[in-house]
Amino acid sequence: MRKSFILLLILLLSACGKKEPSYMGSRSCRECHEAFYTLWETSYHGRAMQDFTADFHEKHLTPCDSFIVSGNEKYRYMMTDSGAYMAEAGSGKQYPLLYALGGKYVYYFLTPREKGKLQTLPLGYDVGKKEWFDITASSIRLHQTRSDTPLPWTDRRYTFNTACYACHVSQLSSEYDINNDSYTSEWREAGINCETCHGPAETHNRIFREAEKSGRQPQETYLKTVVRSKGYTAEQVNASCSYCHAKMISLTPEYIPGETFFRHFDLVTYENPDHYPDGRDLGENYTFTSWRMSPCVQNSDMDCLHCHTSSGRYRQKEDPNASCLPCHRQRVEHVSAHSRHPEGSEGSICIHCHMPKTEFARMTRSDHSMRPPMPAATRAYGSPNACNLCHTGKPPAWADSVIQTRYTGRYQSETMEWAGYIHSLRNGMDDDLDAALDLLLHPGNEIVKASLVRCMRSFRNERIPPVMLELLGDPSPLVRASAATVLGSYLRPAVTEALCRATQDSIRLVRIRAAEALAELPLSGIPPRFRRDYEHALGEVRQSLQLFPDSEISHYNHARFLERRGRLAPAVSEYRKALTLRPGYGEAAVNLGMLYYECGNIDSAQYFFRHAIENNPERLSAYIDLALLYAETGKSDAAAGLFRKAYRIRKHASAAYNLAVLYSGAHPDSALYWSEQAFELERDDAKYIYSYAFYLRENGKNDKARSVLENAVDQHNTSPDIYRLLGALYRNSGEEKRYRRLMERAAADPRLSPREQQIFRR
C-alpha cells in the first residue's frame, strides 16, 4: 500500500511539473466513459447553461402572447426568422437572447450588454406551467419581517458575470476590471462539466493513456487522481456538491473536489432571515445547511450520492422509499403503520413527510434536513410543514393536534426550544440568553450551535465570553469559527491568547475568523510565539476579502477589516469602490461618513450620511450618526429632530440616550424620560444603567437611582461609573460600611481594568 502511494505521488509530480493539474474538458472523458458522458450531457447539470438556438425554442418554449409587466416597463419574448429577442414596449429596444439557464423548473435567459456583461433578461419561462413570467417579482423574499421590493432586471445582482456564473459554467475566468467596470469573462464549458465534480483530469488521463499503451492495468490507487465516491469520505463527496448547493462565503480562489468544505468556504446558517427560526428555508437550491441538520447525515456516513447521481438525477425515482434503506427497513416495510397513511398514498412516501417541497422563484426544492413535520413551528413562525402542504384546507392547529395525538408530539419540543432562542436573539431580545448559552455547552447539532452563536454577535454581555472560549474547542470548525468572531468584541488577555491559538487551527475558516477577531490589535499586542501564525492567518484574511472585485459586499467587508486595522486611507478607498458598484449601498455610505467624521472632515461626513438617508429613508444608523454630527457642531435642535425620527423608525436605545443627553441641561424631566426609555430597551447595558440612575438622582429620586444601581451590581452589569455613583449615594446618606464594601467589591471586579481596580483599592 505504501509503495503504491509513493508511486502515485511520483507520477503526480512528474505529470504536473510542479504546477497544478490542468482541466481537459468533458469531451476528454468520453473516450473511456461513454455511458456516463451521455447521462451527464443530457442532465440538468450538463445543460445548466446552453446556447439559445431555434432548435431550443422549438423543443422547450411556447409563444409569449402579450407584454408582461416587469418593474416600470413591459416586455415580450419574440422569435423571428432573424433570431429571438425580448422587446421593451416603451422604448422599442430589442434584447437578443444569447444563452438559456436552468430547465428543470424554469428557464432564465441572458443577453449581452456593454463592457462584456451578460444580463439576465426580465422574463423567464415556467417549464411546468408553460408560461412566461416576471423574474424580478418572483424573487422577493416571502417571509422576512421587513419589506422587500423587486430589483430592476438591469441591477448588477442580475448580471450573470457577477452573480450567477459559478454554478452554470465550468472553469470560469471572470477577468473583471474595476477601473472601467468591465468583464472579459471566459469559461471552458457551459454547464457543470465532469471536472467540476471530479477535479482536473490531466493527470488521470495521462496515467490511463500510458497504461493503455503499455498494456498494464493501472492500480486502484491511481483512480484517486480524480474524485470518486469510492475511497473518499462522505465529507469529501458532500463538499464537492456543496460548491453549488450551499449558501456560502468563499475563502479561496478555487475549490478542488476532494478537499473539505470549511477549508474553502464559510456557511450561512439560521442567523440569516432566509431561514425560519426552526431552520426551514425559502426553498432555494442551497440545501447544504439543512443537509447538515439531518439526523441521517449526523448518525451515518451517508453522502449526497446515496440519493443522487453525480449528474444530479434522483436514483430512487421509481421507488422513493428505497432512499431510506437500509437504515429504516422496519419503517419502510410497515410504512402505513408508521405514516398513518394508506400504503400507496402520497402520505406513505417517506420524502413527502420528511423532505417536503417548498417553492421560491417558481422553483421547488426538497427540505434536506429530513426532519418530521413540525406544525408547532408553523403556528409560531409561519414556517412550512409537510402536513399542511398536503392538507391545504386544514389550519396548522389541526395538524399540530394530530401530531400531538398520534406521535405525542414530543419530538417537536427540542426544535421549538432552540428555535425560540433563535427567534428572540434575531429580534434583539436577550431574555433567553442564559438558556441559549447553557444549550451551547451541551452536545448538539453544529448548525443550531453556530446559528445561536452568530445571533449573539449583536449583544454585549459578560455572560457570553466564557461560553465562546469553551466553544473554541468544539469539534465543528463552523462552531469554532463562529465563536471566534463573537470573541472579537471582548478582547482581553485570556481571549487574545485563545484567539491566537485559534490562528493555528488546521481549518482555514477558523484561522481566518480568529485573525479577523484580533484585527484591532497591533502586532505588539500579539504574544511573540503566535505572531508567525497570526500573520499567516492575516494573509488568508486578505486573500478571502479580495476574491470578488466586482462585488460591493467584498469591498465593504475589506473596508471594515482595514478600518479595524487602523488603515483609514485604504478603507475609504474600499468604501468608495463599494458605493461605485452600488450607489445606494447604505451601510457603506454610513461607515464612510463615520470615517470622515472621526477624521474631522465634517462636510464629507454630512454628505455621506445624507446620501444614506436619501437612498433609504428607513436607515436608522444614518439618522443617528448625522444627529451626532449635528450635536457636536452645536446644531442641537436639528440633532434632536433626527434622534426623534430615528426613534420613530425603531425604538433604539442609542437614540433615546442621546436625546437624554441633549435635554439634560434645560429639561431635566425630559432627560429622565429618555434615559428611562434607553434603560428599558437595554437593561443590561452599563452605559444606559448609569445614565438612567444619574438622571434619577438629578431629579431627586435617590432611592430609585440606588435600587437601579444595586440591581446592576447584583447582576454583574458593572462599570466604574456605576460603582462611583452608587458609592456617592451611600456616602451622602452616611452609610460608610456599605460604601467600603462596595469599593472592595469594585477593587476585585474582573470586568474592570487593573488601573480602575487600583483606584478603587485606594
| pLDDT, tens digit, 9 for 90 and up, residues 524-538 | 999 999 999 999 999
CA atoms of 185 and 166, how far apart (whole Å): 12
- Inform me whether the pLDDT recorded for 344 exceeds 80: yes
- Inform me whether the pLDDT recorded for 343 exceeds 50: yes
Rounded mean pLDDT of 339-347?
A: 90
Q: Using an 8 Å Cβ cutoff, are 671 and 661 in contact? A: yes
Q: How far apart are the first and last CA of the chain?
A: 71
pLDDT, residue 222, reads 61
CA atoms of 690 and 696, how far apart (whole Å): 10
Interacting residues of 377 by C-beta distance below 8 A, sequence separation 6+: 276, 277, 278, 280, 383, 385, 412, 415, 416, 419
CA atoms of 621 and 609, how far apart (whole Å): 9
Q: Using an 8 Å Cβ cutoff, are 254 and 544 in contact? A: no
Burial level of 278, CB count in 10 A (0-12/13-18/19+)? buried
Residue with cell 417558481: 362
pLDDT, residue 19, reads 52
What digits encode the pLDDT tens for the residues 448-492? 999 999 999 989 888 999 999 999 999 999 999 999 999 999 999
Among 224-238, 666-680, 685-699, which is the least confidently predicted range?
224-238
Q: Please, how many CA atoms are within 13 Å of residue 248, restricted to the half-sphere of its CB?
A: 29
Residue with cell 429580534: 427
The whole-model pTM stands at 0.85
Tell me, rounded to whole angstroms, the distance of Cα 591 from its chain centroid: 21
Q: Which three cell numbers stand for residue 245?
A: 448547493
Q: How confident is the model at residue 223 (pLDDT cuts 50, 70, 90)?
A: low
Q: How confident is the model at residue 14 (pLDDT cuts 50, 70, 90)?
A: very low
Beta strand ranges found along 67-159 (DSSP E) = 68-70, 73-80, 83-88, 94-96, 99-102, 106-112, 118-120, 123-126, 131-134
- Vertex 87, ends 86 and 89: CA angle to 5°? 150
* CATH class of domain segment(s) 653-762: mainly alpha
CA atoms of 130 and 110, how far apart (whole Å): 19
One DSSP character per residue, 42-58 reads TSTTTTSEEE--HHHHH
- Inform me whether the pLDDT recorded for 17 exceeds 80: no
The DSSP call for residue 492 is S
Bigger pLDDT: 281 vs 544: 544
Burial level of 282, CB count in 10 A (0-12/13-18/19+)? buried
Rounded mean pLDDT of 730-749?
A: 93
**CATH 1.25.40.10 residue window(s) in the chain:** 551-650, 653-762
Is domain 551-650 in CATH 1.25.40.10, yes or no? yes
Rounded to the nearest 10 degrees, the angle between the axes of helix 636-649 and helix 653-663 is 150
Report the percent of the chain where pLDDT is more than 90: 69
CA atoms of 385 and 399, how far apart (whole Å): 9
Q: Which three cell numbers stand for residue 196?
A: 467540476
CA atoms of 517 and 500, how far apart (whole Å): 10
Residue with cell 510565539: 529
Peptide bond into 326 cis (omega under 30): yes
Residue with cell 494573509: 539
Rounded mean pLDDT of 311-340?
A: 91
Report the percent of the chain where pLDDT is more than 70: 95
Interacting residues of 564 by C-beta distance below 8 A, sequence separation 6+: 519, 520
